[in-house]
Each structure stands twice: as structure tokens, then as C-alpha cells.
Amino acid sequence: MDHLTQLCARLQEAASASPYAEKKLVFGDGCQNPRLMMIGEAPGGDEEKQGRPFVGKAGKNLSAFLETIGLNREEIYISNVVKLRPTKESPKTGKAVNRPPSKDEIAFFLPFLQEEIKVVNPQWIVTLGNVPLKAVTGDAKAVIGDWHGKPFTLEDGKILFPLYHPAAIIYNRALSETYQQDLMILKGLLEK
């Protein structure tokens, strides 16, 4: 059994004995030894149904962004900080809707993400939004608006490149140009 499979099994076991026992876990997915790993905050409804990260609307945006930088999903590894869908009840419909992950959820899953990064061992880590930026840097005050589009070398020598979350441009079209500029910077860096 490879290291990722072992890690997933350990996480499944830990989750089954936690408050998250009833939730479906969505593990990372992709190339085993990628140059680049992308990390989002948590799966949404489509991801929960399909059991894969970034397959919904944000996933479609992500695929387009990857095309822009000359990569496809099969060449990278994609995961999330939190491996379950954080939900709340919609006051309008009474159905489950997405919400940001709680501090407890992040704290529960963070050690697994840290081990996942070690096992996947990418040269580049692209964080998508505030939650993964804070998780990877350990800086609780980090804000994507200040960090996006700039490479940083982490303590372990990996290069961090923060981006806005792909869903951000669904809700804020004004970010579209900024996102494209950031992607062109990333593309240039990856081509070196």
C-alpha cells in the first residue's frame, strides 16, 4: 500500500471516531509525483457527490486556468485543507448549503494536509484562497489580497504561489483580470 493510500486510510479511521463520522470525505486527487500541487479550502456539493476535488463550477474555472498556464489535471495534484463539505442549513430552502470551514474543522484536518504535502512532495504549491494560504504558511493573519501573484519560498524549499480561489471570480467578476495576470506570472515562473 502506498503512502497516500495509507494516509487516506488513517484519515478515514480518525474521522470515523470524530464529530465528522457521518460526513463523506473527499481526498486529494492527481499525479503521484507532480511538479505542482493545488490546495483549496474544502469540497462543495459536486465534489461530495463525485468524491473528487474541484469538479463543480470552481473546478471548471480551475481547468480553464490550468489550460492558461499550459498544464492539465493529470499533471498536477489537487487537494483541500478540509476533506469534507462544510454545510449550514439555508434559511430559504432548508437544504444544506456551503459555508467556510470552521476553526475546529481546519485544526482536525491540518495535520493530514501537512503529511499529504510531504508525501506528494511537489516543487510548487499553489494555494487557492485564504484558508489554504493560512494553513500552508502557518500565518493566521495572511490575507490573499496581500499575497496573491507573488512566489514565496517555504522553509522546506517548496515554492508557494498564492492565488484567489477559482470561485472568487464567479462571485466577483472584477477579479478576473487580476486572476489572469497572476496566472501569467505563474506560467512564466513554471517555464523557467
Q: Indicate if the pLDDT at residue 110 is higher than 70.
A: yes
CA distances to 7, 37, 41, 67, 109 from 10, rounded to whole Å, are: 5, 21, 20, 34, 12
Residue 172, pLDDT > 90, answer no
Share of the chain above pLDDT 70, in %: 99
Lowest pLDDT segment from 60-74, 115-129, 130-144: 60-74
**Is residue 145 over pLDDT 80?**
yes
Write the pLDDT tens digit of every residue in 19-55: 999 999 999 999 988 999 999 999 999 999 999 999 9
What does the pLDDT read at residue 136? 97
For 104-182, strand residue ranges (E) read 124-127, 152-153, 159-160
Query: Is pLDDT above 70 for 1?
Result: no
Average pLDDT, the chain: 93
d(CA 141, CA 145): 12
Identify the sign of the CA torsion 137, 141, 147, 148: positive
Q: How confident is the model over 171-176, as a mean pLDDT?
A: 84
Residue 8's pLDDT band, with cuts at 50, 70 and 90, is: very high
Is the per-residue pLDDT at 170 higher than 80? no
Prediction pTM value: 0.94
Compute the residue count for the chain: 192
CA 161 – CA 117 distance, rounded (Å): 15
Quick check: 174 pLDDT over 90? no
Locate 18 and state its grid cell: 470524530
Higher pLDDT pick, 165 / 53: 53
CA-nearest of 87, 113, 80 to 14 is 113
Number of Cβ within 10 Å of residue 88's Cβ equals 10
* Residue of higher predicted confidence among 60 and 125: 125
Q: What are phi and psi of 36, to 5 degrees?
A: -130, 135
CA distance readout (Å), 99 to 30, 41, 73, 80, 146: 25, 11, 26, 14, 23
pLDDT value at position 87? 92
